[in-house]
């Protein structure tokens, strides 16, 4: 079973690349982020034509997440996180798919920091941790897959100096991510590539792709029951090189 997280950076602009990826790689489950489209304008027919059922949590112009399943219809469990009823951002969608609980999440960027956007990021991470704790307590096989906007370790970035002031690499962001892992979640990509140096994102600016100046911010966290099934994890980096590609590459885990 191949489970993918993929920040498409605008599903309408990247639809040909997404359909191409689904057709060529045939992943079993795909969690999408940054759809930048409302629910009523999402290209559901194109996704279904590629052989995938889908549940969407869109938002016009911003954010947006989805869960796709090959040859099946995901069953929605929850959209959004408890804790801030006034939070209208479409950043969390949890579904049942083929015996797994799969959550697609798009964590706030948090820049500029310090400031209200960074404060919101940290509160959102606390809310995610509360939901994750409930999933572990229920002992359900679960995967939390998405763009976490956290560079967890120095060797998850091409340059510590370049990112030192960025919200993605602040001590508070890293500590919140580590507290999440400490609940009992396994960072699949880190487990398979403990030395780091594996990127999932390359900015469009300053020739970042050409210089391989990237960092790792797309993560798949596995509950204990799922971690026991881990075979491999990696990044389909070649898709970042294609015409009009997202600035993220599909990031995946393979399970027994």
Average pLDDT of the chain? 97
What's the pLDDT score for residue 141?
Answer: 98
**For residue 170, what pLDDT is reported?**
98
pLDDT digits (tens, 9 = 90+) for 54-95: 999 999 999 999 999 999 999 999 999 999 999 999 999 999
pTM (global) more than 0.75 = yes
Rounded average pLDDT over 214-234? 98
Mean pLDDT, range 126-142, rounded to an integer? 98
Q: Return the beta strands (E) in 12-99 as ranges.
A: 29-33, 52-57, 65-70, 75-79, 92-97
**Mean local confidence (pLDDT), 224-229:** 97
pLDDT of 167 reads 98
- The per-residue pLDDT for 69 is 98
pLDDT category, 124, cuts 50, 70, 90? very high
Q: What is the pLDDT of residue 243?
A: 95
């Amino acid at each position: 079973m191949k489970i993918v997280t993929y920040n498409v950076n605008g599903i309408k602009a990247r639809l040909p690349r997404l359909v191409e990826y689904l057709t060529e790689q045939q992943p079993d489950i795909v969690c999408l982020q940054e759809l930048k489209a409302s629910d009523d304008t999402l290209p559901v027919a194109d996704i279904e034509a590629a052989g995938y059922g889908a549940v969407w949590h869109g938002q016009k112009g911003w954010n947006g997440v989805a869960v796709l399943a090959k040859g099946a219809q995901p069953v929605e469990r929850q959209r959004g996180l408890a804790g801030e009823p006034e939070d209208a951002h479409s950043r969390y969608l949890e579904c049942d798919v083929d015996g797994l609980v799969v959550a697609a999440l798009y964590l706030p960027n948090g820049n500029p920091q310090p400031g209200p956007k960074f404060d919101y990021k940290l509160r959102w991470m606390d809310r995610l941790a509360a939901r994750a704790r409930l999933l572990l307590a229920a002992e359900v096989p679960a995967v939390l897959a998405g763009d976490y906007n956290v560079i967890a370790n120095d060797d998850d970035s091409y340059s510590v100096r370049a990112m030192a002031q960025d919200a993605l690499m602040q001590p508070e962001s890293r500590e919140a991510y580590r507290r999440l892992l400490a609940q009992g979640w396994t960072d699949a990509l880190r487990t398979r590539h403990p030395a780091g140096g594996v990127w999932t994102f390359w900015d469009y600016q300053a020739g970042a792709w050409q210089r391989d100046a990237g960092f790792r911010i797309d993560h798949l966290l596995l509950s204990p029951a799922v971690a026991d099934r881990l075979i491999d994890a990696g990044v389909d980096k070649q898709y970042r090189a294609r015409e009009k590609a997202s600035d993220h590459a599909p990031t995946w885990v393979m399970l027994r």
